[in-house]
Amino acid sequence: MDYVQWTNETSITTFIFLGFQSLHQFQLLLFLLFLVVYIATVAGNLLIVTLVAADRHLHTPMYFFLANLSVLETLYSSVITPRLLSDCLSKSRTISLGGCITQLLLYSSLACIECFLLAIMALDRYLAICKPLSYQVIMNFKVCLQLVTASWLIGLSVSSLVVGMVSKLHFCGPNEIDHFICDMNQLTKLSCKKSILAERTVLVSCSIVTLGPFVLIVVSYVYILAAILRIASSSGRQKAFSTCASHLVVVSLYYGTIVIMYVVPTKNQSPAFQKAISLLYTVITPLFNPIIYSLRNQEVQGAFKKLLLHNLGMK
């Protein structure tokens, strides 16, 4: 155990990830599985970004936000999965305190930004369906850029505040993190001097970041659903709903896991359950998002076919 002297106490400078201990005999299989998922995640999300950038028919607010979401998912997965892959093949799963805080800051920032971006996407759908005549005036490129920039600034600010509180905690042992990432809940549990202020700051900040945008999403979709039900033709209702269905699925997956992890009390949750939930929103969800958004989206499918034919030299 690495340590330094700190006011007559041992101060931890290195943590050990316990990871998936119960599956140690399947580490190579897990490595191959996570590697395939990571490659597919990066390829799928970068394909979405490429299609939106290359096809002028996708130069709309909805696809601008979708491209930004894909960039976030790529970064999010890249913060978590490479380290996870390394730990699958390594017997020494250690990480320095500074490295742990850095990882926590990066993935918590991206998670906060995604919460706000998903709320912005819901607001965009509300304006497109409920305010169609003024939609293009309100959602011009400048406004879209300002909204995305604001989500980044707020997300970085909130996560920096929370991680700053966690970084001030004193760790004197044990130094084993029963997780595969530097999870905020795990770090607060390992602190030898409990800080009520830090714990309350984490709880309040996570609640605001998750529940605030979630309320905006719910309110937006209540108005959207009411507007869809007023559409006379069934084909019109189906088209309007199809533009929102993918976003609803993504929101349900993402917010469901986040709320379980950081808003619902974790006292009755086993470490195995927490790791499974974390795996879902850090590794699996970024893979599903490009699939969900493109599966029933004819515009994305059409853009992909055009790009494919262009690369094959066919008109």
The CATH number assigned to the domain holding 245 equals: 1.20.1070.10
Predicted pLDDT at 66: 92
Query: Pairing mode, if any, of strands 176-177 and 94-96?
Result: unpaired
Mean pLDDT per segment of 10 residues, for the chain of length 315 residues?
48 85 83 95 93 88 93 94 90 88 93 93 92 91 96 93 86 84 84 75 79 90 88 76 79 80 67 82 86 76 76 61
The whole-number pLDDT of residue 313 equals: 62
Q: How many structural domains compose the chain?
A: 1
**Residue 120 lies in domain:** 3-311
Whole-structure pTM value = 0.87
Amino acid at 19: G
Q: Which long-range contacts link 84-87 to residues 24+ away (Cβ below 8 Å)?
A: 84/34, 84/180, 84/181, 84/283, 85/31, 85/34, 85/35, 85/38, 87/17, 87/19, 87/180
Give strand pairing partners of 95.
Answer: 15
Beta bridge partners of 15: 95
